[in-house]
Each structure stands twice: as structure tokens, then as C-alpha cells.
Amino acid sequence: MERGSFAARHDFDALPLSPEVDVCCAQFSEIAALSQMAHQLVPGVRIGTAELAQYVAFDPQSILTFSRKGSLLGGMAFLFLNGRGHDALLLDDICLTAPDMCHLASANEEVSAIYIWAIAATGRGIAGLGKAAAHLRQIRFRNADCYAHPSTVAGCEIMKATGFEPVASFQPDLWCYTRPWNRQPMRMPGAIVQSRSFADARH
């Protein structure tokens, strides 16, 4: 992933929607270019164009393109995991370089977790993250928290700047972004005092 400008911290679901970058579901005609870009920018990518096309055929919403004025700037790929896949991710029991389809949610199945498979972008392409986050606020994905493995220093910076945190799991170096509506409310000291006062008042 090419380094982007993320000096300011933003919650992933609160990233601005850049008018300069168009974000759309990938077309089959774009898969080869996206695959080549991923191999150049993302360490450890092994999947080829044909295999990537199979995942797009299984779920057309799993790969997004970032473009500006018709020029491809990059893309973002997701694994929409079902309950079995979510468990396998946390238990380090999933092959993330070539995941088994049994771990992926079908179009009519609830998405239990979203794994950000890869982000490959050049120049202004990284500004497409805001619209990518909006894509993940659709009803089908809304309740699923996001997971990722930062594979570069720039990727790690983006994770930190957008609210991802390392999570305890058997999967090494796994980071998680908990959606705002899934977070546990913080208990304020005042609330505890009020609770005690109410309990005392009953006796």
C-alpha cells in the first residue's frame, strides 16, 4: 500500500466522502489490473487474476475500485465472513491467501465479520476509504466489525488513524475496528454512585 496522508485521526465510519475519488464495485474487466496493482503494492499477495475473479463472481460487492476521472487509482478487497469464517479467523484456522468459500457469507446470509483482505492505492486513491466505509454501512454489513492485518508501515498508520486496535486472538497481529453501534457504553462514575444511592434508598 502506498503511504497516504492520515495525520488527522478519524473513526473509520466517520471518514469524509471525497468528491475527487469514485468508488464502485469492481467489474470483471478491471480484475487483471487490480491483481497486478495488489502484487506490486501489497506484500504477501499470491492470488492470481483467475482466482480473484472467482471471489468477485461469488460476491460482486467484495472488491471496490478507486478511480479519478476514469483512471484507476487502486482498490479494496474484503472477505465477508459467516459465523464459521469469523470463528476460523480468530482461531487462526483460515487460509487468508486463498480462503475456502465455506467461510464466506452468501448473498442471503448474515455477515458476521468483515476482513479487509487488501488495500492497494496510489496517489489520491487512498481518499476513497471514506466511500469504502460507506459501502460497509449497508444493512447487510452494518453489524459486522472489521478486521485486518497491516502488512506495511503505512498500513499500520492507517489502522491506528481510523480506530483499529490489536485484538486478542490466536491469529497473529490481528487488528479490529469495532463499529460505533457495537461498542459497549462506558460506565461513568456518576452512574455508579446513582445506582448505589438508588439501592440504598430501597432499604
DSSP string, 35-55: HHHHHHHSTT----HHHHHHH
105 domain-assigned: yes
Residue 100 lies in a domain: yes
- Domain that residue 142 falls in: 12-177
Cα 170 versus chain centre, distance: 19
Higher pLDDT: 2 or 86? It is 86
186 located within any domain: no
Angle subtended at Cα 68 by Cα 62 and Cα 71, rounded to the nearest 5 degrees: 85
pLDDT digits (tens, 9 = 90+) for 47-99: 889 999 999 999 999 999 999 999 999 999 999 999 999 999 999 999 998 99
Structural contact between residues 55 and 84, judged by C-beta atoms closer than 8 angstroms: no
Q: Encode pLDDT of 127-163 as tens digits.
A: 999 999 999 999 999 999 999 998 788 888 888 999 9
Q: Would 173 be classed as within a structural domain? A: yes
The count of structural domains within the chain is: 1
Contacts 24+ apart (CB under 8 A), 152-158: 152/1, 152/42, 152/43, 153/3, 154/1, 154/2, 154/3, 154/4, 155/1, 155/119, 157/3, 157/6, 158/1, 158/4, 158/6, 158/119, 158/126, 158/129
Residue 107 lies in a domain: yes
Q: Helix or strand or coil: residue 6?
A: coil
CATH number of the structural domain spanning residue 78: 3.40.630.30
Q: Residue 15 above 80 pLDDT?
A: yes
With CA atoms as reference, report the closest residue to 163 among 141, 151, 144, 148: 148
The whole-number average pLDDT for the span 103-119 is 93
**Residue 194 CB neighbours (<10 A):** 11
The x, y and z cell numbers of residue 8, run together, are: 488527522
As a whole number of angstroms, the distance between CA 145 and CA 152 comes to: 22
pTM value is 0.84
Quick one: which of 41, 62, 47 has its CA closest to 123?
Answer: 41
DSSP state of 183: S
Residue 155 counted as domain residue: yes
> How far apart are alpha carbons 124 and 47 in whole angstroms?
25
Q: How far, in Å, CA of 115 to CA of 46, rounded?
A: 17
Maximum average pLDDT range among 6-10, 113-117, 184-188: 113-117
Largest CA distance in the chain: 73
Q: What is the pLDDT of residue 196?
A: 34
The pLDDT value recorded for residue 124 is 85
Q: Is residue 1 part of a domain?
A: no
In a domain, 200, yes or no: no
What distance in Å separates the CA atoms of residue 141 and residue 170, rounded to the nearest whole number? 24
Taking all residues of the chain, what is their mean pLDDT, rounded to a whole number?
A: 85
